[in-house]
Amino acid sequence: MNKGKTSINDLSDDALIMIFSNLAFLDKVKLPMVCKRWRVVCDSYNLFSNQYALGTVSLPNAHEEDQFTCRSHTIPDKDCIYDTLFRCKPPTRGPLSEFQRNAEESEKRLVVKKDILHKSLNKVGQHLKILGLNFCHCVDDETLLTISRTCKCIEHLDLSFSSAAKCFDGVRGAYSKRQYSNSINSRSCKSLSDAIGHSLVHLNLSGFTGITDNALKKLFEGCQKLEEIHLSINQFGPLRGYSLTDTPRSVKKVSLLVEETDIDNERSIGSAALLSLSKSAAKENINALRIRRSLRIAMLDIIAANFPHLKNLDVGDWFLDVRLTDNYSQVGSVIAKMKELEVLTMYLPEVIKFDDGFTTIIKSCRKLKKLLVYGGPVADATLELLPLYISNLELLTLSYMKTDAATRLANRFTNAAFKSFAQLRKLKHLQLNGVNITDEGVKDFFDTFAGDLNQLNVFDVRNCSKLTRETLKLCIEKSKLRDGKSQQPLKVCIHGTAMKMSKNFKLPSTIIVSSNKLEKNFGRNYFMPNVHDYDIDDIFGIFINDALDDFMIFYNSDESDSSDDDSIMNMFDEFDYFDYFNELEGDF
């Protein structure tokens, strides 16, 4: 190169390839359009040879709290690249979506140009195994035919919320109605089934309102390796769930989002869909079932009668036929019939007592290894039964168990129940979010813990506001007692507590401190808090602020001996991460 006149075109072809290979996906697509030489270089070397995954939003690995997700399908190898077509997070979805603050936010983050998408698929389609087009509003027949033509080895296909559009009513200030545009016909689904049916394992059509029962039936015809499906059935939409009778025999996991609002209508689309599923060839192979959004007691009766062999059950959100004056005892008695359950997740956002129903479940479902309960007040006496009847429990999550949110009464969950969890000998993951425990309760738990400290990997106490730095100090002390047999350090989650962190704070390698917020993105089926605990402004903050990046603090230094705990704890005052989050939320 000449001094003072360096140019990228002075580089050799190999040097250009090294530079090009580090560019973002869309930049790679545009490279051949720059000049003739770059087009020749790009044609001679396939820049997309390691492009196994592509999507509109980031595809996370399975969340540690989410026991039922198709997103457990991870990147094939460490060299694989997962690129996004645009750099923004998906919108918040859920029964409270009508409270979204403005339409502009929805408009600016969902648009992906169809020609860019199709050009991208033409470039990398032959190598793709993971394709995530969730929240992409350009998925129609033409897009599916392009996928059929270019992608022949797709294993994971995510089209969730990619065809559902909403109209924003500026007068009412809410999303008042849906537009069922971009409807998919049977021909394109048949073409897609013929192209990728031999390899497709995970299919996510949650919120994909453009597909009909006939089209879904055609899609199922060639999918003989399909193991997991996510669908949305809507009272007013084209998909009612009748096509579930044709569910492939290979399916093991089914997730249904049921949307209906007519409480008095006895002809429930959710019940009809479950009856159709019970008539399919996959009935005996289904071991995991998730039913969310709008539920009825009759739907649980159908599940208990037709799927008694279930290992994993995930239910909750809104029971249309349970009133606030009732008790969840009937819900519990139906779930208790499924004695083979190993994983049970219940989302109970209403302020309805759950003691009787929960007691029945505890005494009947003794094979449970993972129990996750969100919302629904439960007394100490009920929780103290857990070690007596479910001795094999490895993961326990109890979150936001309020009694009367209107008067802001304290949680019924207290230190007495917390201490009883110490008798769970196989406990590996303990998550208590937003409950009324104190430092004394944490001390009693660790002092009487009957299990092996080496196997306790997660201690999550986020939003337990009464916990102070004494709790973390105790976790540090107990982590030192681990003899090194554990494959991973103890992770302590402290966001929302009265603890403060220091930028220079160091911990022994046996412990990790995380201050990330709870995931509350309903579109990904994560935790939805008790809506009675918040006013409308609070709900905005909960559902909208998931666009903030998680603030993770990892202190994992082998050089730190941390023998002087007092000197360590004195460093906490240097950095208040609550102020950090307040600043972020203010900017947002």
The CA distances from residue 251 to 272, 283, 287, in Å, are 19, 9, 9
> Do residues 387 and 421 make contact, with C-beta atoms less than 8 angstroms apart?
yes
- Measured at the CA of 280, the angle between CA 278 and CA 284, to 5 degrees, comes to 70
pLDDT, tens digit, 9 for 90 and up, residues 15-45 = 888 887 777 766 777 777 788 888 788 777 7
> Is 148 a residue whose pLDDT tops 80?
yes
Rounded Cα distance between 475 and 478, Å, is 5
Task: Share the mean pLDDT of the chain.
Answer: 71
- DSSP reduced 3-state for 567: helix
> Is 361 a residue whose pLDDT tops 90?
yes
> Is 417 a residue whose pLDDT tops 60?
yes
Of residues 167 and 369, the one with the higher pLDDT is: 369
422 Cβ neighbours under 8 A, 6+ residues apart: 444, 445, 446, 447, 448, 449, 450, 451
- Global pTM reads 0.75
> Is 572 a residue whose pLDDT tops 50?
no
Residue 170: predicted pLDDT? 37
> Is 94 a residue whose pLDDT tops 50?
no
pLDDT, tens digit, 9 for 90 and up, residues 237-292 = 778 888 999 999 999 999 998 888 766 666 788 889 999 999 999 999 999 999 98
530's tokens: 């008790």
- Give the distance, in angstroms, between the CA of residue 4 and the centroid of all CA atoms in the same chain: 53
pLDDT, tens digit, 9 for 90 and up, residues 466-479 = 898 889 888 888 88
- DSSP reduced 3-state for 12: coil
Percentage of residues of the chain with pLDDT beyond 90: 23
- Specify the residue for token string 């032959």: 126
pLDDT band of residue 198 (cuts 50, 70, 90) is very high
pLDDT, tens digit, 9 for 90 and up, residues 290-341 = 998 888 888 999 999 999 999 999 988 777 776 655 667 788 889 999 999 9
Residue 575: predicted pLDDT? 34
> Do residues 184 and 210 make contact, with C-beta atoms less than 8 angstroms apart?
yes
- Give the distance, in angstroms, between the CA of residue 340 and the centroid of all CA atoms in the same chain: 24
Rounded Cα distance between 187 and 567, Å, is 70
Residue 263: predicted pLDDT? 65
> Do residues 442 and 413 make contact, with C-beta atoms less than 8 angstroms apart?
no
Of residues 517 and 195, the one with the higher pLDDT is: 195
pLDDT, tens digit, 9 for 90 and up, residues 515-553 = 777 654 333 333 334 333 333 333 333 332 332 222 222
Dihedral-angle region of residue 425 (phi above 0 means left; psi in -120 to 50 means alpha; beta otherwise): alpha
Percentage of residues of the chain with pLDDT beyond 70: 65
> Is 394 a residue whose pLDDT tops 90?
yes
Rg of the chain (C-alpha set): 26
Residue 478: predicted pLDDT? 85
> Is 87 a residue whose pLDDT tops 50?
no
> Is 14 a residue whose pLDDT tops 90?
no
> Do residues 395 and 369 make contact, with C-beta atoms less than 8 angstroms apart?
yes
pLDDT, tens digit, 9 for 90 and up, residues 160-184 = 877 644 443 333 333 334 444 457 8
DSSP state letters, 353-402: --HHHHHHHHHH-TT-SEEEEESS---HHHHTTHHHH-TT--EEEEE---
Helix ranges, 238-328 (H): 269-278, 297-306
pLDDT band of residue 72 (cuts 50, 70, 90) is very low
Rounded Cα distance between 154 and 482, Å, is 44
DSSP state letters, 427-494: --EEEEES----HHHHHHHHHT--S-TTT--EEE-TT-TT--HHHHHHHHHHHTT--S-SSSPEEEE-
Helix ranges, 236-354 (H): 269-278, 297-306, 329-335
Of residues 486 and 99, the one with the higher pLDDT is: 486
pLDDT band of residue 558 (cuts 50, 70, 90) is very low
